[in-house]
Structure 1
Amino acid sequence: MNHLIVFTHPRKTSFNRAILDAVTEICRQEGDAVVVRDLYDIGFQPVLGSSEMLGGVGEDVSLEQAYVSWADHVTFIYPLWWTGLPAMLKGYIDRVFSYGFAYKYDNGVQIGLLKGKKATLIHTQNKSQEEYEASGMGNALRLTIDEGIFAYCGFEVTSHLVFDSILASTSEDRKAWLAQLSELMRIDPAKNEKAGLNNSLYLNL
């Protein structure tokens, strides 16, 4: 299987980086062909230009679209900032998931053009699961990110793994979380839905 990993975090020593290393190794052990696109490392330009809004696509976007087209499965690893995607990743989506590549309209009906591809989302957050679910933010995130972006473009979101209470976690907690990744990335999403998890699995303290 062709597996693309889109990674978004500016720090080389972050827990997100440890997640990236673990996921990359897991995929390779499974026999996947793996390509990692570290958006900060490659210097991706996240700002959508006016010409792109009119249909023009630059060489940098064409390259990223080629990776997405190549992939059977795309894993996105990122921190949750201001209850949303980091600007770098949001800009990647703005530019790479363009009209005519990721979606289109046919007689007013929206069509996701990346149908047949799977997506796994993995994010870290400082607040706890209980805080986000009590405020309604957890469901809002699932609607705006899982459904509003990825399912909208045709992806099957197989799982959304959430590492929460990061600031309160210890090195032992984080090692234990990473050790669970191999199993958690392959949990049947239908079981998550039956359990009321909406494909989101929290790894909390």
Structure 2
Amino acid sequence: MNALLVFAHPHEDSFNRAILNTASDALRANGHDVTVRDLYKLNFNPVLTGEDTSAMRAGRTPEDIRTEQEYVAKADVIAFIYPIWWTGLPAILKGYVDRSFSYGFAYQYNSEGGIDKLLAGKRGVIVNTYGTPEEVYESIGMTGSLKQTSGGGIFEFCGVEVAEHLLFGGVTSVSDDVRKEMLARVDRAFRAL
């Protein structure tokens, strides 16, 4: 199985990096091929421009977008690992989606007015961290909203079946033992793929 891990956190010593390493190790332990696209290390340009969309319409996908689309096309499993900032994706990951999951590659409208989900057959995993305690996000409906916008609005919209969506709250204030259990959940989820 080919796994693509798209990672969006700027700090080497972050808990998100520990999640990335745990996920990667779990997949490799089961003999899977793993590709990590660390968007900050790549200095990925998140800005979708008019030139980008015009080039794609003309069949001349810009090289940096085409490179990411090749990784996505090859993947059986796509994982997004990122912190929740301002109740959403970091800008660099949002831009990755805007540019790489483009019309004609990830989805298109058909003659019946429906949507062709061009990434069907792939599975997706989303792992999020946030500083607010989990019970607060749960009580205000944010947990469901995050699952709907990222899982439904991105992956499922393009045909990617969401296999798992892990949300870890309070990561800045919980104990090391709690964070170790979070990593154990990540390990179990990725080993189960």
User: TM-score interval w.r.t. the shorter chain?
Assistant: over 0.9
Task: State the partner residue of 1:111.
Answer: 116
Distance 2:96 2:122 in 1: 18
Q: Deviations over 1:121-175 (max 9, x none)?
A: 0010111222112212222212211101110011000010111111211223222
Distance 1:123 1:153 in 2: 20
Give, in angstroms, the shift of residue 47 of structure 1: 0.4
1:183 alignment partner, one of 182, 188, 191: 188
When structure 1 is superposed on structure 2, of 45-54 and 88-97 the one drifting more is 45-54
Task: State the partner residue of 1:6.
Answer: 6
Task: State the partner residue of 1:197.
Answer: none
2:154 alignment partner, one of 117, 134, 149: 149
SS at match of 1:5: strand
Normalised TM-score (structure 2): 0.92
Task: State the partner residue of 1:28.
Answer: 28
SS at match of 1:54: helix
The structure-2 alpha-carbon separation of the partners of 1:176 and 1:83, relative to structure 1 and needing over 3 Å to count, comes to same
After superposition, where does 1:25-104 map in structure 2 within 5 Å? Answer: 25-56=25-56, 57-104=61-108
Normalised TM-score (structure 1): 0.87
The one-letter amino acid paired with 2:54 is: L
| Identity level (%) | 46
CA contact (8 A) 2:26 2:190 kept: no
The one-letter amino acid paired with 1:81 is: W
Give, in angstroms, the shift of residue 186 of structure 1: 5.5
Task: State the partner residue of 2:140.
Answer: 135
Give, in angstroms, the shift of residue 94 of structure 1: 0.2
When structure 1 is superposed on structure 2, of 167-176 and 62-71 the one drifting more is 167-176
The one-letter amino acid paired with 2:132 is: K
When structure 1 is superposed on structure 2, of 110-119 and 135-144 the one drifting more is 135-144
Distance 2:63 2:176 in 1: 41
The one-letter amino acid paired with 1:138 is: T
CA contact (8 A) 2:118 2:158 kept: yes
Distance 1:175 1:168 in 2: 13
CA contact (8 A) 2:55 2:62 kept: no
Unaligned runs of 5+ in 1: 189-205
The one-letter amino acid paired with 1:184 is: A
Unaligned runs of 5+ in 2: none
Task: State the partner residue of 1:173.
Answer: 178
Q: Deviations over 1:17-43 (max 9, x none)?
A: 011111110000010011100000011
Distance 1:76 1:178 in 2: 15
CA contact (8 A) 2:30 2:191 kept: no
Distance 2:168 2:135 in 1: 13
4+ residue runs of structure 1 moved beyond 3 angstroms?
A: 184-188
SS at match of 1:11: coil
SS at match of 2:158: coil
